[in-house]
Amino acid sequence: MADVTTLLGAVRTGASSDANELFQLLYLELRTLAHEQSRRHSDPAVHTTTLVHEAYLRFKSSGELRIEDRRHFLAYASHVMRSIVVDHARSQLAAKRGAGSVPVTLNTGIVNSTTASDDEVVKVHDALAELTALDERLGKIVEMKYFGGLTEDEIAEVLDLSSRTVQRDWEKARLILSASLQKA
């Protein structure tokens, strides 16, 4: 089996079988990312396996991507899985129309023990979109930490920053998101 970087190069040239091999090679890591996403969502339709398979389908249909190595691929996969969860939450909200509005806070201390409603997922996504418009790097850090389950050291490696910079940016992002969610 080839290494990830070689497979990504082959996938960029359009080799479908290499995309299959790439997903097989990284399947356990992708399931871990997907598990982080599905664990936070209360709807059983957003299941770990479903997220991995949907990410695979989106990856294959995405056309020309500029993913260079394993860490960029996993960051991209985290983003795609978040997008799938948000799309699902939006479709559920569209079906409900008028669901009750409950204040949402970004409290990472309880994130592992609770699940989010569709409304909360969309509110956090909208607040994250506002944050990303203000500072793209802060948005990426929140996406990778909160939605992807990456550690600060892993985020630092992906973004080529120091761990301390990621910690400072994470705190700044939490403050901005908290204010944004309180006004929503």
Average pLDDT over residues 131-141: 91
Give the domain ranges of the chain.
4-183
Mean pLDDT of the chain: 78
Tens-place pLDDT, residues 73-88: 888 888 888 888 888 8
| Between residues 25 and 1, the one the model is more confident about | 25
Could you tell me the pTM of the whole model? 0.52
Residue 61 DSSP label? H
* 175-184 tens-digit pLDDT: 888 888 887 6
Task: Supply the pLDDT for residue 20.
Answer: 76
pLDDT exceeds cutoff 60 at 155:
yes
Nearest to 149 by CA among 79, 86, 88, 87: 79
Taking a C-beta distance cutoff of 8 angstroms, is the pair 154, 160 a contact? no
